[in-house]
Amino acid sequence: MTILEEVKKNYGELKLYINGEWIKSQSTDIYESVNPATGVPIATFPSATEAEVTRAVESAQAALETWKDVPVRDKARYLFDLRQKFEEHNDRLCRILVQDHGRTIGEARGTLRRCIENIESACSALLLLTKGDYINELARGLDQIMYYEPRGVFLIITPNNIPMHAWSSYVPYALASGCPVIVSPSKEDPVCAQAIFEVTQEVKGFPPGLMNLVYGGRNINEQILNHPNVKGVGFIGSTSVGLKLFSQAGSLGKEASINGNGKNHVVLMPDADMNAAINGLLRGSYGMAGQRCLGADNILIVGDGYEKFRDAFLEASAKMKMGYGLDEEIELGPLVSQRGKQNVLDFIEKGIEEGAKLLLDGRNPKVDGCENGFFVGPTIFEDVDPDMYIARKESFGPITNLIRVKDLDEALELINTKDDYGHSACIFTKDGRVARKFTKQADVGNIGINVAVPQPYAFFPLGSKNASAQGCAKSRIDSMRLFLDQKTVTDRWV
């Protein structure tokens, strides 16, 4: 057993990062960040004042005038330097992510790899997606050019479940597009945001104000988006908050990329590889303690294999080892906050009230050494009616519903009609015709074939739809469309 050392026991009072400087806030609204595995405070942080928010926006606007004129090849070099800094600080960032968020060290390592891939993807996008277009001699003596230019300053709001990955899903692309940012992280894992900004400040070449960090969450987001110099928002979080931001941005004539909740389904066909499905679903159902937008919520078992799958999945789920994620052997960490844990416990109670059968009860697990942590163990319901609340709403916890269906058509009807979301749906099968039908007919944005978490790589968009996403662009490489505007030039010299 290897238990990694915490980077620090306590990070003290976190500061704002404005105009290239760490600033002690003048705010009297102070919050506490807690290690979710132990319940021990690890930092305090302020909610930025109105004046500090205004200063952050003004700094970003000043940086726009400098950054947009930096040559493309220089921008590319700075982004490659940023990638290298993430590699150099990889282990430190992983351990901070475990301590501040609660995921396992294995999950943290995967997250940091995804962050680095986003930076690499942004480097490619800078060189390939900002070139514009040109037609020579469109008419006699007439040429036409279309080129891209940065829209301006953007607000980037990161959630509590993927604080680092969400940052990388927008910020590197904003920089590649020429846009400065103001990052507003969740109040539940602010140390992750500070750690990222400590890395970014090491890159020589980024002008002051290009990236700014302010705490406060919803307290300050409306003010930032209302500022006339802020041209839009990139958001990952809940659908309810996302729709409010989308409405606010629309009323102001601003751009928005909104990623919200989901209710995801995994279909097991009779010919599925049972072992592969179970191994995938342990990660899909319980990875990051169920706090992932592409996690597996409802498992739809087609045909006569229900009991065999149920028993094997139940046995494997019950064996998962819970604890502090800095222990290399841990498979399941805590929820990110006490509030998150309570929401999951309430969700379980709702399922019991609705008449679902609780096969595996994850409430009140015994986790040695982490008695004050925010843990909920693997939880499995069966006898779940598709119209139940627990079958239609996201639990955001390590909860799985087992649902019998007679055939693929019934599974597709359930996926397409029982909720308003559209993040993902997966199928395990050996039949290519079945997989092809599923791909075409499932009304979601991310499809998995023989995988339980259909996570697109950085150079593909997160293709969510319906109530799971709103706006002019998706995240990751597709966010270039959020940050770039078009300009045409028609010229005649003959």
293 is catalytic: yes
| Measured CA angle at 394 (ends 389, 396), to 5 deg | 130
Residue in the structure block whose two tokens are 């986003």: 118
Quick one: which of 364, 361, 366 has its CA closest to 380? Answer: 361
Q: Which of 293, 370, 426, 472 is catalytic?
A: 293
- Distance (Å, rounded) from C-alpha 447 to C-alpha 409? 16
Residues 6+ apart with CB under 8 A from 71: none
Read off the tokens for 440: 């075409």
Alpha helices per DSSP H over 129-237: 163-177, 190-200, 218-226
Contact (Cβ atoms closer than 8 angstroms) between residue 474 and residue 464: yes
Contact (Cβ atoms closer than 8 angstroms) between residue 143 and residue 478: no
Strand order in the sheet with 133-139: 133-139, 142-150, 484-492
479 secondary structure, DSSP code: G
Q: Phi/psi zone of residue 36: left (φ > 0), alpha (ψ -120 to 50 degrees), beta? A: alpha
Contact (Cβ atoms closer than 8 angstroms) between residue 340 and residue 327: no
- Distance (Å, rounded) from C-alpha 224 to C-alpha 230? 7
Annotated catalytic residues are 293
